[in-house]
Amino acid sequence: MSDKRVLGILAGGGPLPARLAQAAFEQGWSVFIVGFEGFADPTLIAPFPHKMLRLAAVKDIFSALREHGCSDVVLLGPVKRPAWRDLKPDSVGTRILMRLGRAVFLGDDGLLAGIVKILEEEGFRVRGAHEFLHQETHAKGVLGKVSVDQQALCDIARAAQVLSVISSLDIGQGCVVQNGVVLALEALEGTDVMLQRCQPLKQDGPGGVLLKMPKSGQELRADMPAIGPETVRLARQASLRGIAFVSGMTLVINQIECIAEADQLGLFLYGMTLDELNRLSEKVGKSV
């Protein structure tokens, strides 16, 4: 039997679960993926040991993780919260939902924090995707050929102020600002749909900017802000001129492709630490 530690990946949609599995494997881990039916893409996780299970089949999920010797787990990939009538939890799932209580019906932060706590109580060590996807999370400064001008910096600071103010309301991680005007805030629809909403909202003058920033106290092990090549393309379609994000706290998916897309489309990609955002905001106005 292999003496490698086994990383369990609770996989939602998108390419990140498979990308994480490959990164963990290259770092000396064995991996096992639980793909949530209706969310995870079976073709992407097919190269790795895996099992497709219902989101609410909690007993089977725990059993599968333990059967494969998973000591550590990562939650990764988007999962749309189903309606209660569609959830159909098993006996363990019902007990877990009762333990989660009101968090099930509130925002994502409380729910995800509750899920992390329960996984830890069940004996698993919950890890963050950023612990394995180092290159994707530590991008900083201007990543491509397009620089950031003073107006863009002002708009970034304005977006940071707005996201800071609404942080405690658990609404979203993204804000689009153009020349000081807030064009859109991310909510349940996610970043991509928010950017699509922005397309008819462009004002006269230079295009706006998108800032992705985690909420205060956000459980990054379960819900880290992310951008990818599609984010870049949709930002261009919305007539934006750049994307800013918090370095070390944002997944930049397929970073090389993101940079190439941004360069081709004439957008900037700009990574800043929270301290840098604070200092920038102090120069512009109210501190983040």
- CATH code assigned at 144: 3.40.140.80
Verify that 90 and 208 share a domain, yes or no.
no
- Could you report the per-residue pLDDT of 70-103, keeping only the tens digit for each? 999 998 887 766 544 555 655 665 666 666 555 5
Verify that 80 and 138 share a domain, yes or no.
no
Verify that 144 and 59 share a domain, yes or no.
no
pLDDT of residue 280: 85
Which range of residues forms the domain containing residue 80?
6-129
Q: Average pLDDT of the chain?
A: 85
Verify that 145 and 257 share a domain, yes or no.
yes
Verify that 178 and 88 share a domain, yes or no.
no
199 is a domain residue: yes
Verify that 77 and 114 share a domain, yes or no.
yes
Kindly state the tokens that stand for 152: 């863009």
Verify that 125 and 181 share a domain, yes or no.
no
Last residue of a domain, one of 129, 148, 165: 129
Among 14-18, 27-31, 216-220, name the one with the lowest average pLDDT. Answer: 216-220
237 is a domain residue: yes
What CATH number corresponds to the domain at position 44? 3.40.50.20
57 is a domain residue: yes
For the cut 60, the answer to whether the pLDDT of residue 39 exceeds it is yes
pLDDT of residue 288: 46
pLDDT of residue 179: 93
115 is a domain residue: yes
Verify that 118 and 154 share a domain, yes or no.
no
pLDDT of residue 52: 94
Q: How many residues are recorded in the chain?
A: 288
pLDDT confidence of 65, banded at 50, 70, 90?
very high
pLDDT confidence of 281, banded at 50, 70, 90?
confident
pLDDT of residue 113: 65
Kindly report the three-state secondary structure assignment for every residue of the chain: CCCCCEEEEEECCCCHHHHHHHHHHHCCCEEEEEEECCCCCHHHHCCCCEEEECCCCHHHHHHHHHHCCEEEEEEECCCCCCCHHHHCCCHHHHHHHHHHHHHHHCCHHHHHHHHHHHHHHCCCEEECHHHCCHHHHCCCEECCCCCCCHHHHHHHHHHHHHHHHHHHHCCCCEEEEECCEEEEECCCCCHHHHHHHHHHHCCCCCCCEEEECCCCCCCCCCCCCEECHHHHHHHHHCCCCEEEEECCCCEECCHHHHHHHHHHHCCEEEEECHHHHHHHHHHHCCCC
Structurally, how many domains does the chain consist of?
2
Verify that 103 and 239 share a domain, yes or no.
no
pLDDT of residue 256: 92
pLDDT of residue 178: 95
Verify that 221 and 165 share a domain, yes or no.
yes
- Could you report the per-residue pLDDT of 142-201, keeping only the tens digit for each? 999 999 999 999 999 999 999 988 877 878 889 999 999 999 999 878 888 999 999 888
Verify that 105 and 211 share a domain, yes or no.
no
Last residue of a domain, one of 74, 108, 129: 129
1 is a domain residue: no
pLDDT of residue 44: 94
Average of pLDDT values for 54-66? 88
pLDDT of residue 278: 81
Cα separation values, 176 from 238, 239, 280, Å: 10, 11, 17
91 is a domain residue: yes
For the cut 50, the answer to whether the pLDDT of residue 287 exceeds it is no
- Could you report the per-residue pLDDT of 106-142, keeping only the tens digit for each? 555 555 666 778 888 889 999 988 888 877 777 889 9
For the cut 80, the answer to whether the pLDDT of residue 232 exceeds it is yes
Average of pLDDT values for 42-52? 94
For the cut 80, the answer to whether the pLDDT of residue 105 exceeds it is no
| Residue 73 φ/ψ, nearest 5 degrees | -135, 150
Last residue of a domain, one of 90, 113, 129: 129
Verify that 107 and 219 share a domain, yes or no.
no
